[in-house]
Structure 1
Amino acid sequence: MEFNMAALDLSDMKRFLLSPCPRAAGVVQCYIRRNKTRANKIFPEYSLFLKEGDRFLMCSKKRPNNATSNYLVSMRAGDLDRNSTNFLGKLRANFVGTEFQVFDDGYSPKELGGGGGWGSGNYGGGSGGSGSGGAKNMSLREELGCVMYASNVLGSRGPRKMQVAIPAVNEAGEVCKWSGLEGGRGSQTAGGGSKAIERVKNRDYDGSLYMVNKPPRWNDQVGAYVLNFYGRVTMASVKNFQLVSTEDFDRIILQFGRVAREEFTMDFQYPISPFQAFAITLSSFDSKIACD
């Protein structure tokens, strides 16, 4: 489905970034620039732009001095203060970089002194976060997605295998709140661990959209594994991927790939939000001890 700019409401940027992409928008085409110059050499800064009009949407950078990879995402360039109203959420990895959690801008159970498995009702109006307006989100954080990469004990440079889950969106456009799932299957443990990852491992997809990456095929001519990106990706890279629902392998929900040394394309469509799409692609940038 071709992109329809008129279907995007950018008047409330935070709401747009945190809400599911409208069906009528079709495939939204974006690109990511990686800045590795000077102060960003060790920890690059990633900036996301809408292809239409080269409009800036979000930026992210890995936090230094953390035991595991931790990326903050902001809707304002250069403002990566977690206490800022521009803060949208974060991506957090496990130690070996094979499991990732996507959070909104709320606080952890430890910070608020609470446990997991809370929530009022299963569905809400957006993907989480503080929504529109300038108020800082003072509530318990919501998990908005999880990403798992298959461990590769052989250290092969072959294609990675991805499993991704995000909260499901119902026909009314409401997003499932994982924290409100019955039976204590909330989005986090009291220590901040991911119950969503546990559910995916147990093949429990209730309240979730479950996605996998389309497996690429080996191409002798280019000497690499390749996918058909329909002209949107021009360079082979282990980071490139296409995500599809297991219920429809022909409909690509999110695709990401390299087009230059420091530039990548990111295209997505309903029901994923721009923030979720960006966070998932950030996980592909992160080094993976067991996969690379």
Structure 2
Amino acid sequence: MSDQVVMHPQLNPPNFEHSLSDSDSEGNNEGPNATGAPVVPITDNEQDGEGPHTVRVARPVPPIDYGPQPPLVNIKELMNLAFRPAALNTRVTCHISRNRDGLDKIYPQYQLSIEHLLTGDIQHVMTARKKRKSQTSYYTISGVVHDSPESAGRLVELGKVRSNFLGTTFVIYSHGKNPMKKEVDSKQNDLPVREEMGAVLYDPNILGFKGPRKMTILMHTLTRDGKRPEFRPTSESETLLSKYREGGSRDLLVLHNKSPQWNEETQSFVLNFSGRVTQASVKNFQIVHDNDLDYIVMQFGRVGPDLFTMDYKYPICLFQAFAIALTSFDAKLACE
């Protein structure tokens, strides 16, 4: 089974516009091909009696590519880049390189860089390492800050990704203490409670009989003004996984990977990555919302033996996108 890349006609990536109701959005779309479709429900305090707001899509406006910026010189700049959702109508293009040399073959290191497609400029902004001596897959993610002229870049811990034993469920956290266990390290106790940033679920698929991987991505919805609220659960019942499994998904953003189509000519499952992915791999995926399968929230795929591209757009942030990509690298005992 292969996720070979093929090209077929597709609409240009859409432009997001905020609207307060379905009728308002439909009336504001311009052009003969413009259509509106709800993408992300945004929570509201509902004190004014209005229903939940939605973000809607107006086409055909291509997104602006976000290019590398000046080196990050302080932690505030790093946090803004890492945790702020992508701007509306903006695509952030990145690549991830995997280092498996020497002792890192079993526990590789991943470097995330933002790249500008027109100029070829790149900016290394994050590094992830697979933790040794862990019973489950465990990645720590750090950001790069150039706050000293003598330093090539200082690493600041941003968060982690951790899986269950089978590698079918991953949870994404910011850097902080776990309120559900007693920390041995006294330094951890001085940190704020970690923020839950998302979860990724892979459908069990023994020996691959059900076809390509199927992913479900869980996140909290954004606020009415497009900001990402902080959620720091202190009990198991407050977590994203518990809410989703109990059917309480009203305040959750639920995304899925786009199902590839079977190609008779190549005898493989294929997706259109518009040239950004060039090699077949079970790791390749595109993330969409069920209400608009043409709007690619995120895509990830192989372009070399240890080189991958990763692009993302609103409503996710760079840290979330990198964490989701890391879950794809791992071997999954029950998924293939």
- Class of the TM-score when normalised by the shorter of the 2 chains: 0.7 to 0.9
**1:74–1:86: 8 Å Cα contact kept in structure 2?**
yes
* Alignment partners' CA distance in 2, 1:196 and 1:287: 23
* Alignment partners' CA distance in 1, 2:86 and 2:69: 8
Structure 1 match to 2:331: 287
Q: 1:103 aligns with which of 168, 173, 177?
A: 173
Q: Secondary structure at the match of 2:321?
A: helix
Q: 1:64 aligns with which of 132, 135, 140?
A: 132
Structure 2 match to 1:40: 104
**2:67–2:114: 8 Å Cα contact kept in structure 1?**
no
Structure 2 match to 1:153: 206
For residue 207 of structure 1, report the CA deviation from its aligned partner: 2.3
TM-score under structure 2 length normalisation: 0.70
**1:143–1:187: 8 Å Cα contact kept in structure 2?**
no
**1:237–1:258: 8 Å Cα contact kept in structure 2?**
yes
Moved more, 233-242 or 3-12: 3-12
**1:98–1:290: 8 Å Cα contact kept in structure 2?**
yes
For residue 173 of structure 1, report the CA deviation from its aligned partner: 2.5
Q: Secondary structure at the match of 1:252?
A: coil
**1:103–1:142: 8 Å Cα contact kept in structure 2?**
yes
For residue 14 of structure 1, report the CA deviation from its aligned partner: 2.2
Q: How does 1:71-110 map to 2 (within 5 A)?
A: 71-76=139-144, 86-110=156-180
* Alignment partners' CA distance in 2, 1:164 and 1:13: 24
Q: Which amino acid aligns with 1:50?
A: I
Q: How does 1:106-125 map to 2 (within 5 A)?
A: 106-111=176-181
**1:224–1:236: 8 Å Cα contact kept in structure 2?**
no
Q: Which amino acid aligns with 1:5?
A: Y
Structure 2 match to 1:138: 191
Gapped regions of structure 1 (runs ≥ 5): 78-83, 114-135, 180-185
The answer to whether structure 1 residue 241 and structure 2 residue 290 are counterparts is no
The structure whose Rg is larger is 2
TM-score under structure 1 length normalisation: 0.80
The answer to whether structure 1 residue 27 and structure 2 residue 94 are counterparts is no
Q: Secondary structure at the match of 2:241?
A: helix
Q: 1:15 aligns with which of 66, 80, 88?
A: 80
Moved more, 270-279 or 150-159: 150-159
Q: Secondary structure at the match of 1:226?
A: strand
Gapped regions of structure 2 (runs ≥ 5): 1-61, 146-153, 184-188
**Identity among equivalent pairs (%):** 37
Q: Which amino acid aligns with 2:175?
A: D
Structure 2 match to 1:127: none
For residue 75 of structure 1, report the CA deviation from its aligned partner: 0.8
The answer to whether structure 1 residue 174 and structure 2 residue 227 are counterparts is yes
**1:98–1:288: 8 Å Cα contact kept in structure 2?**
yes
* Alignment partners' CA distance in 1, 2:106 and 2:244: 33
Q: 2:320 aligns with which of 272, 276, 284?
A: 276
For residue 59 of structure 1, report the CA deviation from its aligned partner: 0.9
Alpha carbons of structure 1 residues 173 and 99: separation in structure 2 relative to 1, 3 Å: same
For residue 95 of structure 1, report the CA deviation from its aligned partner: 0.2
**1:58–1:76: 8 Å Cα contact kept in structure 2?**
yes
Q: Which amino acid aligns with 1:238?
A: V
For residue 156 of structure 1, report the CA deviation from its aligned partner: 3.6
For residue 177 of structure 1, report the CA deviation from its aligned partner: 3.1
**2:179–2:234: 8 Å Cα contact kept in structure 1?**
no
* Alignment partners' CA distance in 2, 1:137 and 1:75: 20
